[in-house]
Amino acid sequence: MEAMLAPFAPVLLGFYYCILGVLALYGVHRLLLVAVYLRTRKNRPATPADPETWPVVTVQLPLYNEMYVARRLIDAVCAIDYPAGRMEIQVLDDSTDETIEVVAERVAHYRERGIDIHHLHREDRSGFKAGALEAGTAVARGEFLAVFDADFVPRATFLRDAMPFLAADPGLGMVQARWTHINRSYSLLTQVQAIMLDGHFVVEHAARHRGGCFFNFNGTAGIWRRQAILDAGGWQHDTLTEDLDLSYRSQMAGWRFLYLPDLTAPSELPVDVNGFKSQQYRWARGSVQTGRKLLWRLLRASLPWKVKMEAFIHLTNNGAYPLMIVLSLLVFPAMVLRRGSPMQLLLMVDLPLFVSATVSVLIFYAVSQLGAGEEGGESNRRSLRFLPALMGLGIGLAVNNTPAVLGGLFKRGGVFERTPKYAIAQRGQSWIKKRYRSPLGLSVWIEGLLAFYFLLCMVYSLKVGMWLSLPFLYLFFQGYSYMFLLSVVPTLRRASKRSQAATQSIEVESGPS
């Protein structure tokens, strides 16, 4: 094997170290965010007094084919405690299925009880979610606009907890709440997703906000000042992350944002890995599109250098996914070529790069679990045992997100594929027979091939005694095989159940002979 790879050694190792170096830089950035978070973790804004006159708020609920969760969302929003006559609710419904009837029934139910709620149904889904929000904003009567996606269940005190901040500070354009998760313990997949989102909300958002950098509205569980939207140019749909795009435009227009980690909003995590992958694809592609659209303008703006650098890293960090694919193909040849290298070289070069690129991930998410307090400190400390699975899942997403990144570099917009929600709140509930399934894509089979490739690499390493390479190879194998199996097994189970149902139907129709 060494002799076969030797002629290509300079090129292979050159690419390998360059890619590992770039990933290490993103790892160092994660550690810097952790440092800022730890240094500022006690900096919490003082809660202002309640306003003498509560502002009018329009609560916007963008929906598209959400028959399983639409009722739950509307019921929760209509239970929000806010002064009479000061809250308007808009159900921005682009649905084409039974969701329309579910929404119509709930809206009529609450209108009869005196709640100011409106069912705004669009037959033309132009602009997708951004288009629906734009249409709703045009006719909203509120000075402030709260947004909740279909998978959220806002608490009754949400507006009373958030609005004093906006009412007291006319320069504040948006308040973002922290997401919590009603089905966190449903499966290994939801546990890992919850940790990933904790990293984003507990560490990233807090560090960016308290460090004086830009951070973003997350598309839901936040409240906008209408003027901050208008000054930024309104909702636009030339990216798949209209929330990220508007956030950066609004902050560049001079508006300040506030992140409130103690203001929480429960939500439902995707339980189907293909729905999760669809969500991640959209976020990755939209983030790259936003970077392509705004980075040059942002870098030329009169802003502090730390704001520009943080924004650059924030809007380009999904570029790590294509690099991860290349690294996946190079990591084993590089290990073979470096077999027998002096230990001093490995300690001086390889170890720092690997620590920066991989251990930084463990530290980042470990800190998020110790700091979240989402289910109580003890519960989140127990989540630390899922960190190895998180490492594998992060690698496994590379196949799914690489075409998203490449597509975002060259194409604007795209079809907004919404993430299926099934009203799954606890273990034991099944989603296999429910509608809105995300289809299997080509990425699934590439994940399977890469899993098989790393299995062969592990077998070879065992055969020749490359013991130190096994943990790294297993991490890649675990990530790709986990994504492959989670994608394929539910589909096979569903097909099997359909086949059994069809067989039983035929037997019933034919009757006894």
Q: What is the pLDDT of residue 376?
A: 47
Count CA atoms within 13 Å of residue 494 on its CB side. 17
CB neighbourhood size of 493 (10 A): 11
Cα dihedral 367→37→353→296 (10° resolution): 130
Nearest partner of 175 among 184, 187, 167, judged by Cα: 167
75 flagged as catalytic: no
Estimate to the nearest angstrom the gap between the alpha carbon of 12 and the chain centroid.
33
Q: What is the pLDDT of residue 417?
A: 79
- Backbone Cα Rg of the chain: 25
Q: What is the pLDDT of residue 419?
A: 84
CB 187 within 8 A of CB 282: no
pLDDT > 90? residue 453: yes
Express each pLDDT in 302-322 by its tens digit: 999 999 999 999 999 999 999
Average pLDDT over residues 401-421: 88
Express each pLDDT in 274-286 by its tens digit: 889 999 999 999 9
Nearest partner of 128 among 238, 229, 230, judged by Cα: 238
HEC assignment per residue over 394-430 = HHHHHHHHHHHHHHHHHCCCCCCCCCCCCCCCCCCCC
DSSP letter (8 states) at residue 350: I
DSSP letter (8 states) at residue 240: S
Express each pLDDT in 217-230 by its tens digit: 999 999 999 999 99
pLDDT > 70? residue 425: yes
Q: What is the pLDDT of residue 440?
A: 73
Average pLDDT over residues 76-81: 98
Instruction: Pick from 9-23, 33-47, 96-110, 339-353 the range whose average pLDDT is largest.
Output: 96-110
pLDDT > 70? residue 1: no
Average pLDDT over residues 232-250: 97
CB 448 within 8 A of CB 486: no
Q: What distance, in Å, lies between the first and last C-alpha atoms of the chain?
A: 65
Please pick, among 149, 151, 243, 272, the residue that the annotation labels catalytic: 243
Count CA atoms within 13 Å of residue 17 on its CB side. 13
pLDDT > 70? residue 269: yes
Q: What is the pLDDT of residue 503?
A: 47
CB 358 within 8 A of CB 27: yes
DSSP β-bridge partners for residue 385: none
pLDDT > 80? residue 6: no
CB 440 within 8 A of CB 277: no
CB 117 within 8 A of CB 75: no
The residue length of the chain stands at 513
Estimate to the nearest angstrom the gap between the alpha carbon of 49 and the chain centroid.
34
Report the distance separating Cα 50 and Cα 398, nearest Å: 47
Contact residues for 346 (Cβ-Cβ < 8 A; gap 6+):
338
Express each pLDDT in 82-131 by its tens digit: 999 999 999 999 999 999 999 999 999 999 999 999 999 999 899 999 99
CB 53 within 8 A of CB 268: no
To 5 degrees, how large is the angle CA 176–CA 177–CA 182? 145
Q: Identify the residue with better confidence: 466 or 28.
A: 28
Q: What is the pLDDT of residue 228?
A: 98
198 flagged as catalytic: no
Please pick, among 93, 94, 149, 272, the residue that the annotation labels catalytic: 94
Q: What is the pLDDT of residue 390?
A: 92
